[in-house]
Structure 1
């Protein structure tokens, strides 16, 4: 299995996204697009994040859990999506559980 990955939003994250202004929604959609098309949604490896669009970066929520929740920052850190990747064989999926932009 490989990209594009399926992505799902928790109710709270979807509500936060729909409450954003249109220009912020476009930034969120661009960050989501980076996630679903990434070869490795956790962007592991030395050069794996270099293909991200300008103003985006990814890091694990806890450095001691590299396979756990991650955050993709967008708009030069003004916003982020917290997500985790479920690498099931039949239905791998990205679950976005937090959406924030200021």
Structure 2
């Protein structure tokens, strides 16, 4: 992955892990994220399951899930793409 894509992916991961509502439920639930990230569930029937974060107006994306841990959430990126 090119360096600019890698930096954007790392920045997106940091934003996602510190989100107030990591499952992004409801309308405009991702308004606290930077303008270059939009988040949606992978399947609308599974809002607590995998999510997709579109990066930089569609130049790339991350598919990720959250795993609850004792003290905090853990993000697991299962797929990353950069064009």
- Shorter-chain TM-score range: 0.7 to 0.9
Are 2:81 and 1:100 aligned?
yes
Matching residue of 2:23:
42
Task: Give 1 or 2 for the bigger CA radius of gyration.
Answer: 1
Cα distance in 2 between the residues matched to 1:22 and 1:45: 34
Aligned length in residues: 83
Q: TM-score, normalised by structure 1?
A: 0.73
**Structure 2: stretches of 5+ with no match in the other structure:** none
1:58 equivalent in structure 2: 39
TM-score (norm 2): 0.88
Q: Could you give the per-residue CA deviations for residues 45-70 of structure 1, whole angstroms, max 9, x where no partner exists?
A: 22321111112100011110011100
Bigger drift between 40-49 and 69-78 goes to 40-49
Q: From the superposition, tell whether residues 53 and 91 of structure 1 become closer, same or farther in structure 2 (CA, over 3 Å).
A: closer
Structure with the largest fraction of strand:
2
* Larger relative contact order, structure 1 or 2 (CA cutoff 8 Å, min sep 6): 1
Structure 1 spans left out of the alignment, 5+ residues: 1-19
Residue 88 of structure 1 is matched in structure 2 by 69
